[in-house]
């Protein structure tokens, strides 16, 4: 829209680099588009795929945007490279889903110096200078963790032993930090809660299946695990697979599997009793990000911190209709 000619040239080079179709030049409608450079973490989870789809559905040419979407394949250095490219291309906005919280000061400073507003989506960054980003739109991960912990408290009210296997998401990401902090705080408060182990599941089913299978092989007795606290649905799927193969029963009379995201497949597992609690993490953030950009286009200062509302589900709250109607 603003830096049309330069953008068109650079967009052409970006698209040839990423294999997309070249953009036709000299079209005045094209020149009116708002150019958004988006750096996505990757496609590690069902949640992430739904999040990318939500963005792509909103930032379309029909809606007045040219979206430059970059998949960082779980590497922060790829995200930094993409942001530098967006700066070179003089995009109008940068939307960043940061893989982890640290390490962003320099590149966000470069975006600021180039006069390009940065909107953080999903996770946060830990930077000294908050003016390096215009807004953060996503989940309150500590609140999600607290909801999970409160449910565990309600299930074990009598001081009986609660032995917990904790499988973490990508270390250093806001989702991991918030959900872990809630659990660790609760373990410190309850004498009867024991953290058996903390495993790194990296938010993926494959890694979790591997680490959980290995862990269970070395456990002396099947009675030793009460709760498996999984920091996302794909971790829960990997854990369920390992538990099943290890001969563990899940649910009310067995291991209580707690998960975050509450995607459709996790809710099905919740309805059939394999997952005891699914804490919602809403990936459908595209419309909120678009509203924020529109507000900025109109000259408004966006609300800096925008958390989305989220729910928790046990089998009691679920019906097949609710699950079928779920968008992700």
DSSP one-letter code for 287: H
The reply to whether 70 sits near ligand AHR by the rule CB under 6 A is no
Collapsing DSSP to helix, strand or coil, 240 comes out as helix
The site map against ligand AHR for 194-213 (x = CB under 6 A) is ---------x----------
| Helical axes 264-271 vs 233-245, angle rounded to 10° | 40
Q: How many residues bind ligand AHR (CB under 6 A)?
A: 12
What is residue 315's DSSP assignment?
G
313 binding ligand AHR? (CB under 6 A)? no
Give the nearer residue to ligand AHR in terms of CB position, either 10 or 285.
285
CB of 169 to ligand AHR, least distance (A): 6
Please give the Cα distance from 225 to 239 (Å, whole number). Answer: 12
When binding is defined by CB under 6 A, the residue of 38, 48, 199, 302 that contacts ligand AHR is 48
For helices 233-245 and 205-217, what crossing angle results, to 10°? 40
Give the list of residues 6+ apart from residue 201 with CB closer than 8 angstroms, or none. Answer: 167, 168, 169, 207, 208, 211, 212, 230, 231, 232, 234, 235, 238, 239
Please, what's the largest Cα pairwise distance for the chain? 72
State in angstroms the smallest separation of the CB of 157 from ligand AHR.
Answer: 28
Residue pair 169/232 in contact (Cβ under 8 Å)? The answer is yes
Does the protein bind ligand AHR through residue 65 (CB under 6 A)?
A: no
Q: Which stretch binds ligand AHR (CB under 6 A): 3-11, 39-47, 183-191, 303-311?
A: 39-47
- Closest approach, Cβ 97 to ligand AHR, in A, equals 8
CB of 271 to ligand AHR, least distance (A): 20
Question: Which is closer to ligand AHR, CB of 44 or CB of 70?
Answer: 44
Q: What are phi and psi of 125, to 5 degrees?
A: -120, 155
Which residue from 47, 104, 215, 237 is in contact with ligand AHR, where contact means CB under 6 A?
A: 47
Distance CA 42, CA 48 (A): 7
The contact pattern for ligand AHR, residues 243-262, with x = CB under 6 A and - = no contact, is: -----------------xx-
- Give min distance, CB of 80 to ligand AHR, in A: 18
Choice between 70 and 122, CB closer to ligand AHR: 122
DSSP string, 16-67: HHHTPPPPPSS-HHHHTPEEEEEEE--S-SHHHHHHHHHHHHHS-TTTTEEE
Binding mask 277-306 for ligand AHR (x = CB under 6 A): ----x-------------------------
Check residue 144 for interaction with ligand AHR (CB under 6 A): no
Identify whether the C-beta of residue 65 lies closer than 8 Å to the C-beta of residue 36: yes
Stretch that binds ligand AHR, among 44-52, 127-135, 156-164, 181-189 (CB under 6 A): 44-52
Could you tell me if residue 239 is left (phi over 0), alpha (psi between -120 and 50 degrees) or otherwise beta?
alpha
Binding flag, residue 215, ligand AHR (CB under 6 A)? no
Q: Contact residues for ligand AHR (CB under 6 A)?
A: 44-45, 47-48, 122-123, 175, 203, 232, 260-261, 281
């Amino acid at each position: 829209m603003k830096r049309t000619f330069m953008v068109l040239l650079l967009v052409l080079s970006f698209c040839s680099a990423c294999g997309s179709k070249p953009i036709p030049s000299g079209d005045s409608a094209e020149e009116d588009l708002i150019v958004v450079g988006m750096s996505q973490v990757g496609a590690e989870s069902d949640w992430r795929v739904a999040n990318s789809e939500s963005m792509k559905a909103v930032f379309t040419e029909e809606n007045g945007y040219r979206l430059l979407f970059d998949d960082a394949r779980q590497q922060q250095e790829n995200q930094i490279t993409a942001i530098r490219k967006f700066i070179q291309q003089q995009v109008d906005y940068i939307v960043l889903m940061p893989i982890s919280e640290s390490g962003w000061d320099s590149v966000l400073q470069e975006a600021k110096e180039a006069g390009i507003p940065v909107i953080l989506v999903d996770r946060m960054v830990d930077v000294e200078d908050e003016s390096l980003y215009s807004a953060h739109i996503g989940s309150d991960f500590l609140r999600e963790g607290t909801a999970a912990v409160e449910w565990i408290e309600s299930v074990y009210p009598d001081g009986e032993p609660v032995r917990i296997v904790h499988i973490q998401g990508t270390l250093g990401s806001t989702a991991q930090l918030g959900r872990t902090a809630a659990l660790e705080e609760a373990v410190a408060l309850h004498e009867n809660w024991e953290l058996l182990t903390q495993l790194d599941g990296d938010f993926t089913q494959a890694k979790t299946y591997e680490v959980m299978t290995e862990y269970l092989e070395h456990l002396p007795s099947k009675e030793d695990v009460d709760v498996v606290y999984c920091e996302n649905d794909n971790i829960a799927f990997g854990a369920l697979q390992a538990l099943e193969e290890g001969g563990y029963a899940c649910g009310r009379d067995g291991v209580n599997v707690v998960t975050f995201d509450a995607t459709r497949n996790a809710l099905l597992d919740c309805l059939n009793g394999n997952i005891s609690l699914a804490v919602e993490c809403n990936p459908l953030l595209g419309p909120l990000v678009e509203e924020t950009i529109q507000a900025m286009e109109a000259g408004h200062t966006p609300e800096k911190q925008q958390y989305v509302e989220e729910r928790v589900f046990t089998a009691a709250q679920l019906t097949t209709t609710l699950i079928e109607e779920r968008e992700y």
